[in-house]
A and B are shown apart, each in its own frame.
Chain A
Amino acid sequence: MGVSSAKQIRAWSLILALIALALLIVLPLLQIFIQSVYVDGQLQWSAPFQTLAASRFAGVLFGSIWLGICVIAGTTVLALPLAWIMSNTRLASWRWLDVVLLIPFMTPPYIGSMGWILFMQKNGYLEQLFPSLHFLTPFFFSFGGMVMIMSLHLFPFLYLLLRGALVRIGGSLEEAGAVMGGGFLYRFRRIILPLLLSAYGMGALLIFVKTIAEFGTPATFGRRIGYEVMTSEIHKYISSWPIDFGKATSMASVLLTACLLVWYVQSVINRKYTYRLVGGKGSRPSRLRVSVWTTGLSVTFILLLLIASIGIPYFSIIAASTMKLRGIGLAWDNFTLDYYKELLSWGSESMEALLNSVFLSLGASTIAVVLGTWFALVIGGSRTKLQRTVDAFSLLPNTVPGIVMVVGLILWWNSPWMPIPLYNTYGMVILTYVVLFVPYTVQYVKSAFTQVDTALFQAGQVFGGAPSYVFRRIVLPLILPGMLAGWMMTFTIASRELVGSLLILPPSVQTSATYIFAQFEQGQVSLGMAMAVISVGLTTLLLILMESLNSQRKWK
């Protein structure tokens, strides 16, 4: 096999990836931008700027960015110690915690916020349980409360990335530091921090982007405390008469620019601080002497985290889902399981919605992992301009608010000249989920892949391995954890995706998320909450199943 043909195929693969990304992501978004400059069929380049010049706009943008920064801080405080605990102490063997810690992320944000609101509000569950704690209410309904809710929702995301990086750093480097007499803080500052920075930068960026693109929490909690962000503003133009996609997209493009800017900074950090960590020598987990005190502290930390991120919201959600009358509140004679019975009866609308969710997200996450891995391999170390373009394009869906991306997809796939009749079918829903969530796999696989030393592939070749053999036996096992994390993330989020589903589902089709939303709209809060419990429970079960199958295989 000549060098030229291998080179050619690599070039073709790159170009094909670019074409795929253009068709799936870039062109649909472009359609929106075209619409934002056409006002009543006339080209007006100034239209977006007029929108942005509106006096309130700067404040709203600042609100979004400040929220993003605060949530990065919040998630860091939660995720960093957790990642350290789960890679450096004996608690690391509690692998089930990984799936449990995904529960906050699986909970639809607006449901999680509602759980907190029901718990903390006047006459809420907290007050019903401990009447003397009612003085906490005003402290909770504040900007700080919003940052807390969003951090508790998003931290698992950062945690998975950080833990992955810490595990790859392994014990030997830190032990070398310890042998040379470095104290814990010194080791952390000079060894772990620099090695962690690229993964952290990536995670922080995605947290930032997820925060400013998040709609659920601002819509439920932010509106209560009067905190305005870009997404709620965009949503207003896109869902109330008169509909104005132009204004919405003008704002979206500012959001996009802000995100691309942050992305650029991150990629600079990334290039500077990426090290080949997975070499031929094999690594083992770090188990530096951890004192009883540290272990105790770690267990306490995890316990408190679980109470705050799962305990409190799910107490509210489950309580609300088992109440005959919400006006009566917590009381034993007000308890019923009727809503669950209604939901789970076979052939019911809710059951159908649930099955739709499961199958659609299974399909979407599988396709997204395949596509995302391909993109990540094409991007490689993002050395060339084209590779960086693929990188940027594949990240786009994560930097645009979901609702904007979805409108772009509708405009694109429902154009009169579109030869593939995908719109209004299940295929369209899967495609939308794939587009929305492909960045996760790309990020996870990239993060795993860039830290693998090329010496490993060379070794495989030297010992006579064919390319496919090297891929199967060396590359695949090394990127598999990244692929799995991407698959789990995609499945998790796709199964609760709301904003896109609301607009893109074919008539007469519902998913569990749109079902929940519809129940809230119809005043059936208990029924909606019951559905949330069931769908999150089902997703958790599936993930635990996956995880246990995976670890079984590992030990064989």
Chain B
Amino acid sequence: MMNKHVFRTGWKKGAMLALTLTFGLAVAGCGTDTPSKDGAQATGSAGQAGAASTDQKLVVYSAGPDGLAKKLVAGYEAQNGVKVELFQGTTGKILARMEAEKANPVADVVVLASLPSVQGLKKDGLTLPYPDAKNADKLNPDWSDKEGNYFSTSASALGIAYNTKLVKTPPTSWADLAKPEYKDQINIPDPSLSGSALDFMTGYLSANGDGGWTLFEQYKANGVAMAGANQEALDPVITGAKSMVAAAVDYMTYKAKAKGEPIDIVYPKEGTVISPRPAAILKSTQHEQNAKAFIDYLLSDEAQKLVADASLLPGRTDVKADKRANLDEIPLLKTNWEWMGEHGPDVTEKFTQMFK
């Protein structure tokens, strides 16, 4: 009996020693090739002390569109000689990452695709005001903070995107989508995944009061399907599985149309909602000067031109887009952003329940 024990442990000992050692080395190995954060903190404190010349770093978390974010970063890097680390994701992914990093924040600047989220950040005291931002006075005042906590440097409008092969005479009002001829043919993005879809819903409700829910009830009755985030809702319309998207983000539609896909967008006559895309400096920033310079860049003529070229609405009222409908060509609902930010969670809950 005793012997058996020795036999069993004998070989095990050798094996485990080897494996234990390997594990130790692996952990040590991972530990050594990781200099970046120490470096970041060191330069960060130097930057705060005013020695901007040694502070050559900036961390930006940005919601899409992908190409635009990269172009903006490249433009800023070329102008300021600062190396930007860019994390891209949806607004939700960015917020989740920020929440997970709460104890030890990494990001300096965030660009989101949802105004209520950034209002929430401001309310929680997470944003750093920058009232002296250059060109801030030229921004659309409705979409940005008066104290300079956030700046909406671009925006998208919501409309009805439709497949031009399937829909010959596009609808002209939101109510049209409840018509029996469109039964089971319409997608609407999920407001818990799409900030802009939520903006449409809260915006429509804030303009129409609780009576606004009638529209969504009619939609539900007409077989409108809630389908993922914006692109997921649009994709079946491009391939012809569905005919239309209610509350479609316009720049995505313009982009697909420019490629040659059979798709187009209309803005209903009773008005729609604009979904601003705010940028904010975080109070925890280690690179304040660079962050401020980044905001200045986003508001510059050059950056606003890039925004317009990406088929988005420029944030500055004095910059015009030539590839899309400009702000003055889009009929708007009378929306109340305060109310919209406050009621977002309730509306999401009620809407997703209704369309489940």
Contact = CB atoms under 8 A, between A and B. Distances in A.
B93 A502 contact: yes
Contact of A6 (B9, B85, B97): B9
Contacts of B20: 13, 16, 374
Given A228-B356, A239-B96, A421-B37, A521 B31 contact: no
Contacts of B231: 520-523
B6 A325 contact: no
Interface in A122-152: 122-124
A121 B59 CA distance: 42
A57 interface: no
Contacts of A292: none
Interface stretch (B98-106, B129-137, B271-279, B294-302): B98-106
Nearest to A403: B96
A9 B2 CA distance: 17
Contacts of A467: 10-14
A327 B239 CA distance: 5
A325 B59 contact: no
Nearest to B195: A241
A20 interface: yes
A507 B87 contact: yes
A493 interface: no
A427 interface: yes
Contacts of B88: 518
Of B3, B86, B195, B240, most buried by chain A (CB within 10 Å of CB) is B240
A454 B31 CA distance: 39
B18 to A, nearest CB: 8
A318 to B, nearest CB: 16
A87 to B, nearest CB: 29
A28 B92 CA distance: 22
B11 A457 contact: yes
A243 B95 contact: yes
Interface in B289-308: none
Of B16, B17, B91, most buried by chain A (CB within 10 Å of CB) is B16
A421 B116 contact: no
B331 interface: no
Of A6, A371, A466, most buried by chain B (CB within 10 Å of CB) is A6
Given A241-B116, A475-B15, A503-B97, A327 B262 contact: yes
Interface in A355-392: 367, 370-371, 373-374, 377-378
B22 interface: yes
Interface stretch (B45-53, B148-156, B175-183, B253-261): B253-261
Interface residues on A, range: 35 or more
A502 B89 contact: yes
A175 to B, nearest CB: 31
Interface residues on B, range: 35 or more
B173 interface: no
Nearest to A374: B19
B8 interface: yes
Given A9-B16, A122-B241, A471-B14, A431 B8 contact: no
Given A3-B5, A427-B30, A522-B66, A503 B96 contact: yes
A425 B34 contact: yes
Interface stretch (A73-81, A196-204, A207-215, A406-414): A406-414
Interface in B200-240: 225-229, 231-232, 234-236, 238-240
Given A241-B91, A241-B120, A424-B36, A410 B14 contact: no
Contacts of B120: 241-242
Interface stretch (A45-53, A162-170, A218-226, A543-551): A218-226
A539 B25 CA distance: 27
**Across the A-B interface, the 5 shortest Cβ-Cβ residue pairs:** A239-B92, A374-B19, A427-B30, A467-B10, A507-B85
Interface of B: 2-17, 19-20, 22-23, 26, 29-31, 33-38, 59-61, 64-67, 85-93, 95-97, 99-101, 103-104, 106, 114, 116-117, 120, 163, 165, 190, 192-193, 195, 225-229, 231-232, 234-236, 238-242, 252, 255-256, 259-263, 344-345, 348, 353, 356
16 contacts: A224-B227, A236-B193, A239-B93, A240-B91, A241-B116, A326-B235, A329-B240, A374-B15, A420-B31, A425-B33, A467-B12, A468-B14, A470-B11, A503-B93, A507-B87, A522-B67
